[in-house]
Structure formats: structure tokens, C-alpha cells
């Protein structure tokens, strides 16, 4: 059973009690890189870093020391559509971790010297991505697919935008988005709904300066064929192929998730078995979906030797054609259904995963997630309906590509992809 409490100022509390030895708690803010302007790209991530750099009563060291001396964990992440600050602790230290979360969320000081120090850290993080070809390729596919749409911006931001963030711009960002109507508190684990309400009202509810308004997400993006590459003198070609996919919480999300699992989401998938196991062309090949409010894309990634580049792409595109034209077998459907349901069950053993599932769903839909309902809905999926969706996926006429590798192979890859797209 899960619970939700909606307060008069717009703050929401979600609690998922569970038989566990721990409690995971998170503050979810409805803002990410997909809500930024081009000039402010990366500021959500930068603000996330700054909340750990000192409060009115704690230094940066004292924040982490306060957590670690009670054996707890604290961290944060920024995505395209939300920012989350979270802790995990044993049951007896739940209230202490919530007090620390509250302190960094409401009392961070954003000292100028800490901003300058952290600016250097984030610039190093951006440089690290440039030196990690597969990560870079996956960042570029967002730019290739979304173009000038905000979802095409990187989460970390560009070096030139991060270099220009001022203290005022970071404070303006948190003032605009860190309001009660744009925030949710989520807890999962061995905690009662009554205790969760007590802690929320003690450490969060009355500390918001204003109720504000929820963040309005960007409109739907209509993709068109595009090719982006970054020249790198490296030993392996990194390729991403992206196609339109369903938006977050679409009625057919579970059906499309099964189809992705069959196509390239698991070790038994068609792409893995064909490209790696049968042909031995690549160590890494897989597909993965990304669904956002109003938008979505499905990406296929492969890292291959240059001599195998053309053969690999041809076989991937051939598998796509077979998938679209002939659909999936009943056995593949049943296997994917069992994989999906067992994944839900396994996920319930990790309180941080449970907390994230409930938090993300609430912050993006304003609805209460239910693991039990999702499990039931997957079980009700019909083979004929799911199989019928194959022809609607993977539109080659809207294929977007990113490539990281030696420049002389970029044009060859582009010509090869164009040949398939124009058929």
C-alpha cells in the first residue's frame, strides 16, 4: 500500500512502507536540463552541486560527516526533467537524515568561493565526458534527435555556459523552481505514513519561502533525420541510432517496454544475439528507451571496430526491418513479460529504487504510482496488441544518428544510413 498527502501550499508527500531494514528518502524538484534556456544550460546540475557546499550551520565536510558518522548515505542527481536529493539510512537514523536533507535544501549559503571551486569541478566533469566516447556518443544523440529543443541540451551544460554562471543566476534558479508546488518528499522503507507526515511537517512544510507554481514542460518535439559526429582518434567506433518513442506514462508504455526488451534490451534480445553472439561484431550493443513529458526516443548503441562498422550497421538495420515487418514471436513476448514482472519484484528489494520510482512518477505526472497496479497491467498485456505495435516503432524516415570516432569513417556511415532511410 502506498500513501499520498497533498498540503495546502502544494507540497506533496508520498510514502511506500515496506518490510525493510532501511529507509530511503528523497526531495524531488520538478526541474532539469530540459527546462533550461540555452544560455543557462547546466544550471540545474550546478545548483545541485552547490547544495552540498555549506549551509548556515554546516561546512561541506560537516554535511558529509553528519551523514557518514551515523552510517547513512547522501547524494543527488539531475536528469533532463527533475532534480533529486536523497538519503538512505537505517531505521533508527531516519529523522537525523531528514534534518540534514532539510538543512542543505533550505539553508545552503552559495558562498562565492565555493561557487568558484565547484565551477572547476563541474568543468572537469564535462571534460571527463569528452574523454569517454560512449558517454559522449549518448549525449550527442540527444542533440541529433532533439536539435534546438531543450531536451537536446546536456545535463552538465557546456563549458562556456558553466563558466559564466554567477551567484545571482544560481540563486534565481533555486528561487524560481525550489518552491512547494514544484517539490515532493518521497519515503520508502520501514516507516509509517504517520511518522513520515510528522517529519515532513517538522523539517520541510513550513520552510518554503513561497508556494510558487509547478514547472511547465516543453511541448512535443517532431523529429527528422539528422546526423551528428565528433571526430576522435580512438580505436573503436561508437554509434547511436535513435527513433521516436512514446512519452512518459503513455497508455502503451508497458507494451513498448516489452518490445524494446525483445529488440535489444536484454542478453537474449535479437540485437545482442545477432551482433555479438552470432556474428561477434561488437562487445557492447543494446537498445534503451527514454520517455519524457510530451516526448520520447528509443536509442540503439553499438561500439565496434572500424573494419566491422559497415557490417554492424547493415545487420542492425536489417534486424529493424524484420522486427517491423514480421513482428515478434509468442515465445519472445512471454519471455519479455516474465522479465518485466520479475524486474519489478527485484526492484522492490532496493528501497532507493522504490523511492525513485514513486518520486519520478509523482513529479512528472502528479499521480500516485503503484507497483502492484503496474505488475497487474503487465500481466494483462495481450500478444496480438503488442505484436501489432512493431510496425509503428523504429521509423527509419525519422532516424537520427550520432557517431564518435575517426573522421574518415563519418561520411561512410552517413551514406550507409541514408541508403537505408531512403529505401
- Contacts of residue 187, Cβ cutoff 8 Å, sequence gap at least 6: 13, 14, 15, 16, 23, 24, 25, 26, 196, 355
Q: What's the rounded Cα separation, in Å, for the pair 405 and 107? A: 45
Contact 392, 42 (CB under 8 A): no
* Rg from Cα positions in the chain: 23
> What secondary structure, in 3-state letters, does the chain show?
CCEEEECCCCCEEEEEECCCCEEEEEEEECCCHHHCCCCCCCHHHHHHHHCCCCECCCCHHHHHHHHHCCCCEEEEEECCCCEEEEEEEEHHHHHHHHHHHHHHHHHECCCHHHHHHHHHHHHHHHHHHHCCHHHHHHHHHHHHHHCCCHHHCCCCCCHHHHHCCCHHHHHHHHHHHCCHHHEEEEEEECCCHHHHHHHHHHHCHHHCCCCCCCCCCCCCCCCCCEEEEEECCCCCEEEEEEEECCCCCCCCHHHHHHHHHHHHHCCCCHHHHHHHHHCCCEEEEEEEEEEECCEEEEEEEEEECHHHHHHHHHHHHHHHHHHHHHCCCHHHHHHHHHHHHHHHHHHCCCHHHHHHHHHHHHHHHCCCCCHHHHHHHHHCCCHHHHHHCHHHCCCHHHCEEEEEECHHHHHHHHHHHHHHHCC
Q: What angle do CA 99, 104, 108 make, to 5 degrees?
A: 140
Task: Give me the catalytic one of 48, 118, 319, 332.
Answer: 48
Tell me, yes or no, if 376 is annotated catalytic. Answer: no
Picking from 10, 105, 118, the residue whose alpha carbon sits closest to that of residue 55 is 105
Picking from 237, 331, 315, the residue whose alpha carbon sits closest to that of residue 278 is 315
Indicate which residues carry an active-site annotation.
48
Amino acid at each position: 500500500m502506498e500513501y499520498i498527502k497533498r498540503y495546502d501550499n502544494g507540497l506533496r508527500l508520498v510514502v511506500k512502507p515496506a518490510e525493510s531494514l532501511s529507509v530511503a528518502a528523497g526531495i524531488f524538484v520538478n526541474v532539469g536540463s530540459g527546462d533550461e534556456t540555452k544560455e543557462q544550460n547546466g544550471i540545474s546540475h550546478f545548483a545541485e552541486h552547490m547544495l552540498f557546499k555549506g549551509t548556515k550551520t554546516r561546512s561541506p565536510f560537516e554535511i558529509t560527516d553528519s551523514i557518514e558518522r551515523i552510517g547513512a548515505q547522501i547524494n543527488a542527481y539531475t536528469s533532463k526533467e527533475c532534480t533529486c536529493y536523497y538519503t538512505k539510512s537505517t531505521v533508527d537514523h531516519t529523522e537525523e537524515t531528514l534534518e540534514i536533507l532539510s538543512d542543505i535544501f533550505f539553508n545552503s549559503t552559495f558562498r562565492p568561493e565555493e561557487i568558484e571551486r565547484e565551477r572547476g569541478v563541474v568543468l572537469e566533469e564535462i571534460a571527463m565526458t569528452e574523454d569517454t566516447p560512449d558517454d559522449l556518443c549518448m549525449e550527442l544523440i540527444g542533440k541529433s534527435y532533439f536539435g534546438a529543443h531543450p531536451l537536446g541540451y546536456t545535463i552538465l551544460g557546456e563549458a562556456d555556459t558553466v563558466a559564466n554562471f554567477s551567484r545571482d543566476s544560481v540563486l534565481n534558479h533555486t528561487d524560481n523552481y525550489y518552491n512547494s508546488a514544484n517539490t515532493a518528499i518521497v519515503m520508502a522503507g520501514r516507516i509509517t505514513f504517520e511518522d513520515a507526515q510528522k517529519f515532513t511537517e517538522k523539517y520541510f512544510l513550513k520552510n518554503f519561502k513561497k508556494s510558487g507554481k509547478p514547472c511547465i514542460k516543453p511541448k512535443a518535439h517532431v523529429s527528422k533525420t539528422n546526423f551528428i559526429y565528433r571526430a576522435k582518434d580512438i580505436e573503436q567506433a561508437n554509434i547511436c541510432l535513435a527513433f521516436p518513442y512514446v512519452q512518459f506514462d503513455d497508455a502503451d508504455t508497458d507494451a513498448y517496454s516489452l518490445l524494446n526488451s525483445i529488440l535489444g534490451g536484454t542478453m537474449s534480445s535479437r540485437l545482442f544475439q545477432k551482433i555479438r553472439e552470432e556474428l561477434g561484431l561488437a562487445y557492447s550493443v543494446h537498445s534503451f528507451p527514454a520517455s519524457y513529458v510530451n516526448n520520447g526516443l528509443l536509442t540503439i548503441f553499438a561500439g565496434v571496430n572500424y573494419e566491422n562498422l559497415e557490417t554492424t550497421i547493415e545487420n542492425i538495420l536489417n534486424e529493424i526491418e524484420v522486427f517491423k515487418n514480421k513482428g515478434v514471436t509468442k515465445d519472445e513476448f512471454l519471455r519479455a513479460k516474465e522479465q518485466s514482472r520479475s524486474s519489478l519484484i527485484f526492484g522492490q528489494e532496493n528501497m532507493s529504487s522504490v523511492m525513485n520510482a514513486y518520486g519520478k512518477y509523482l513529479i512528472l505526472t502528479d499521480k500516485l504510482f503503484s507497483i502492484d497496479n503496474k505488475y497487474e497491467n503487465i500481466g494483462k498485456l495481450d500478444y496480438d496488441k503488442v505484436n501489432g505495435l512493431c510496425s509503428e516503432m523504429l521509423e527509419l524516415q525519422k532516424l537520427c544518428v550520432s557517431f564518435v570516432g575517426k573522421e574518415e569513417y563519418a561520411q561512410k556511415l552517413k551514406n550507409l544510413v541514408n541508403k537505408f532511410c531512403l529505401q
